[in-house]
């Protein structure tokens, strides 16, 4: 029971939840160092735990079950990944730090594996390649450091009231430059990975070499993702900075086929009559795209499951028939 | 809740192409027109979220197109790189879609859009929000006959019943399973 009325209690609960959310945002734990980014204590700090308890209390969730709107999935904790709106502008794109760290670990794993498998080789080529890989690892490490440096730089901004919008924009510009440098480093590592994979595949047909090359391909794919996420974060920073500076622009619109027709008084008839991309063209294109993606994900979803069952049923019938 | 035009795009972005095919099989002519407009708008928004407008990002666009082509390499479908890049350049510059008379253009636009959304790693709620935003923009862009009331797709995740689940006739068109 509470002495407050229902509406007063709802207001009270909302206020407490807002405070708790701010605390969770401000006391995110750095995934790399494990230190609270808000107070510098080993994370998760007491403030963060208290805020999580408050949120759990008001949303009737357990402490270990994160609220959905804090990102992440499968109950996996990834503090420091989504709780930094200043880095992504509208919190719509995740930060690349985790991916870059995963890429770095993948590169390290691939290098260790290749080192073990190529240690007995007399050929100087693999040794030279491995030596260059040490440089690549350093680059990847530097890129990771740059990402975290950018995050630390960017997250100082909303915590305190900035003196002026120019300071915020300048800080975001620095973070963006860091992200660009990290992108360049990740791109360089990716090119080195691709070259090393190609060389290994062409010079050796052994199973261990193939495994090492496959690992490098995986690491390169992860680095592609790192680059993409860095670009998304940089664009979000651009948009955020533009919004702060009051120079935000909507994407230009005349790209559509219907552009410049909507103001015409007889637009309804005109648009359908002179539509250059006919309905048949759109339908054919959409069906082809569906067929292409179907060959990538043939059994996904309920319909995929049904199709799979249907496909297996005749085989099962054949197996169950007596000889 | 997403409209019946945005729901197929969500199916594609979440890797459920059979659901997508089932939905688009029920489209009539106005539906197709509105769906085409929605794809174009969503593509424009996603491209602007990833690349800087004004042709400053030539290398990232080229790399992105290459990565999308690589993703569909094993399906046997060869995405035309010149068409894909010209689509991105045009939308970033705010110019009309090049070569809209070919079905390949719409296919390329869809595959690039799915690639952009894939790279963003959006959650389900974020994806729905993005598609809702795209619908709002599309309504702003569309002529009167293409902006009728969009009925919501209520049974988006419901498993199909035996009579509604039809065999896919397009299974063999893009390579084996």
pLDDT tens profile A226-237: 777 777 767 776
Residue A72 has pLDDT above 50, yes or no: no
What is the reported pLDDT for A107? Answer: 62
The number of beta carbons lying within 10 Å of the beta carbon of residue A166 is 11
What is the reported pLDDT for A285? Answer: 92
What does the alpha-carbon distance between residue A47 and residue A40 come to, in Å, rounded to a whole number?
12
What does the alpha-carbon distance between residue A100 and residue A227 come to, in Å, rounded to a whole number?
9
Residue of B nearest to A297 (CA): B15
What is the reported pLDDT for A71? Answer: 43
What is the reported pLDDT for A148? Answer: 59
Whether B33 and A282 have beta carbons less than 8 Å apart is answered as yes
Give pTM, 2 decimals.
Answer: 0.60
Residue linked to tokens 């319909």: A303
Residue A36 phi/psi, 5-degree rounding, is -65, 130
What is the reported pLDDT for B65? Answer: 93
Name chain A contacts of B63, Cβ cutoff 8 Å.
Answer: 227
pLDDT band for B94, please (50, 70, 90 cuts).
confident
Beta carbons of B16 and A257 less than 8 Å apart: no
Residue of B nearest to A284 (CA): B103
What does the alpha-carbon distance between residue A229 and residue A232 come to, in Å, rounded to a whole number?
5
What's the whole-number mean pLDDT along residues A259-269? 38
Residue B107 has pLDDT above 90, yes or no: yes
Higher pLDDT, A166 or A90: A166
pLDDT band for B105, please (50, 70, 90 cuts).
very high
Beta carbons of B41 and A279 less than 8 Å apart: no
What is the reported pLDDT for A66? Answer: 45
Summarize pLDDT for A101-139 with one digit per residue, the tens.
Answer: 666 666 666 666 666 555 555 655 455 555 555 655 666
Helix ranges, chain A (H): 6-26, 46-59, 85-88, 97-117, 124-159, 165-203, 207-245, 267-274, 279-296, 301-320
What's the whole-number mean pLDDT along residues B78-101? 88
The number of beta carbons lying within 10 Å of the beta carbon of residue A165 is 12
What does the alpha-carbon distance between residue A27 and residue A24 come to, in Å, rounded to a whole number?
5
Question: Min CA distance, A116 vs chain B (Å)?
Answer: 30
Higher pLDDT, A35 or A47: A47
What is the reported pLDDT for B43? Answer: 94
What does the alpha-carbon distance between residue B102 and residue B100 come to, in Å, rounded to a whole number?
6
Percent of chain A residues topping a pLDDT of 70: 43
What is the reported pLDDT for A68? Answer: 44
B contact residues 47-66, partner A, Cβ 8 Å cutoff: 47-53, 57, 60, 63-64
What's the whole-number mean pLDDT along residues A129-158? 57
What is the reported pLDDT for B116? Answer: 93
So what's the ipTM on this one? Answer: 0.79
What is the reported pLDDT for A41? Answer: 74
Residue B134 has pLDDT above 80, yes or no: yes
Indicate the average pLDDT of chain A: 65
| Stretch among A108-122, B30-44, B64-78 having the lowest mean pLDDT | A108-122
What is the reported pLDDT for B20? Answer: 92
The upper half-sphere exposure of residue B42, i.e. CA atoms within 13 Å in the direction of its Cβ, equals: 30
What is the reported pLDDT for A317? Answer: 62
What is the reported pLDDT for B76? Answer: 87
Whether A241 and A172 have beta carbons less than 8 Å apart is answered as yes
- Residue B45 near chain A (CB below 8 Å): yes
Beta carbons of A235 and B176 less than 8 Å apart: no
| Stretch among A269-283, A296-310, B32-46, B76-90 having the lowest mean pLDDT | A269-283
What is the reported pLDDT for A244? Answer: 66
- Residue B131 near chain A (CB below 8 Å): no
Whether A155 and A84 have beta carbons less than 8 Å apart is answered as yes
Q: Which tokens hold the place of A124?
A: 């100087």
B62 to A73, A104, A236, B59, B82: CA distances (angstroms): 32, 24, 20, 5, 10
Residue A261 has pLDDT above 60, yes or no: no
What is the reported pLDDT for B110? Answer: 95
Torsion of CA A149, A102, B116, B174, to 10 degrees: 170
What's the whole-number mean pLDDT along residues A133-158? 57
Residue A176 has pLDDT above 90, yes or no: no
The number of beta carbons lying within 10 Å of the beta carbon of residue A300 is 18
What is the reported pLDDT for B168? Answer: 39
The number of beta carbons lying within 10 Å of the beta carbon of residue A42 is 10
Residue A276 has pLDDT above 70, yes or no: no
Residue (of B52, B53, B47) closest to B65 by Cα position: B47
Residue B66 has pLDDT above 80, yes or no: yes
Computed on alpha carbons and rounded to an integer, the radius of gyration of chain A in Å comes to: 27
Residue of A nearest to B174 (CA): A292
What's the whole-number mean pLDDT along residues A241-246? 69
Beta carbons of B165 and A300 less than 8 Å apart: no
Residue (of B124, B116, B113) closest to B38 by Cα position: B113
Higher pLDDT, B109 or A314: B109
What is the reported pLDDT for A54? Answer: 83
A237 to A171, A285, A321: CA distances (angstroms): 10, 34, 65
Summarize pLDDT for A187-225 with one digit per residue, the tens.
Answer: 777 787 787 778 777 877 777 777 777 777 777 777 777
Question: Min CA distance, A187 vs chain B (Å)?
Answer: 10
What is the reported pLDDT for A145? Answer: 62
Exposure class string for A168-186: b at 16+ Cβ within 10 A, else e: bbebbeebbebbebbbebb
Question: Min CA distance, B72 vs chain A (Å)?
Answer: 7
- Residue B141 near chain A (CB below 8 Å): yes
Residue of B nearest to A311 (CA): B167
Whether A130 and A115 have beta carbons less than 8 Å apart is answered as yes
Contacts of residue B149, Cβ cutoff 8 Å, sequence gap at least 6: none
Query: Among the ranges A73-82, A154-163, B107-116, B146-155, which has the highest mean pLDDT value?
Result: B107-116
Partner residue opposite B104 with nearest CB, options A229, A285, A301: A285
Which DSSP letter does residue B161 get?
P
What is the reported pLDDT for B113? Answer: 95
């Amino acid at each position: 029971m509470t002495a407050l009325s229902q509406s007063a209690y709802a207001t009270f609960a909302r206020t407490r939840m807002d405070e708790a959310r701010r605390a969770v945002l401000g006391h995110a734990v750095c995934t790399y160092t494990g230190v609270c980014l808000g107070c510098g204590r080993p994370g998760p700090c007491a403030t963060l735990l208290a805020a999580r308890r408050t949120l759990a209390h008001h949303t009737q969730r357990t402490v270990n079950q994160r609220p959905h709107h804090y990102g992440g999935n499968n109950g996996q904790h990834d503090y420091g990944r989504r709780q930094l709106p200043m880095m992504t502008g509208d919190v719509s794109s995740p930060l690349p730090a985790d991916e870059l760290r995963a890429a770095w670990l993948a590169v390290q794993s691939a290098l260790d594996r290749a080192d073990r498998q190529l240690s007995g080789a007399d050929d100087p080529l693999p040794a030279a390649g491995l030596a260059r890989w040490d440089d690549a690892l350093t680059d990847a490490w530097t890129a990771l450091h740059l990402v975290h440096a950018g995050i630390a730089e960017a997250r100082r901004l909303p915590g305190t009231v900035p003196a002026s919008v120019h300071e915020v924009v300048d800080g975001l510009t620095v973070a963006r430059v860091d992200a660009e440098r990290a992108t360049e480093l990740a791109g360089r590592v990716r090119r080195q990975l691709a070259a090393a994979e190609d060389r290994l595949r062409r010079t050796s047909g052994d199973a261990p070499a193939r495994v090492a090359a496959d690992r490098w391909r995986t690491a390169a794919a992860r680095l592609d993702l790192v680059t993409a996420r860095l670009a998304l974060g940089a664009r979000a920073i651009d948009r955020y900075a533009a919004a702060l500076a009051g120079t935000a622009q909507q994407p230009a619109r005349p790209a559509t086929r219907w552009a410049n027709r909507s103001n015409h008084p007889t637009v309804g008839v005109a648009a359908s009559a002179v539509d250059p991309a006919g309905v048949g063209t759109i339908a054919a294109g959409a069906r082809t795209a569906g067929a292409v993606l179907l060959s990538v994900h043939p059994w996904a979803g309920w319909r995929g499951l049904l199709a799979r069952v249907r496909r297996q049923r005749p085989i099962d019938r054949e197996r169950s028939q007596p000889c | 809740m997403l409209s019946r035009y945005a729901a197929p795009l969500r199916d594609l972005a979440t890797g459920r192409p059979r659901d997508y095919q089932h939905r688009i099989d029920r489209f009539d002519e106005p539906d197709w027109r509105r769906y085409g407009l929605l794809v174009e708008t969503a593509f424009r928004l996603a491209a602007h979220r990833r690349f800087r407008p004004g042709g400053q990002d030539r290398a990232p666009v080229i790399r992105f197109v290459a990565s999308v082509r690589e993703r569909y390499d094993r399906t046997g479908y060869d995405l035309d790189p010149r068409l894909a890049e010209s689509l991105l350049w045009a939308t970033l510059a705010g110019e009309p879609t090049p070569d809209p008379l070919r079905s390949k253009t719409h296919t390329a636009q869809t595959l690039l859009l799915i690639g952009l959304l894939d790279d963003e790693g959006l959650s389900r709620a974020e994806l729905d929000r993005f598609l809702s935003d795209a619908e709002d923009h599309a309504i702003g862009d569309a002529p009167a006959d293409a902006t009728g009331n969009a009925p919501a797709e209520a049974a988006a995740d419901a498993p199909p019943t035996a009579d509604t689940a039809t065999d896919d006739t397009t299974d063999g068109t893009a390579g084996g399973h």
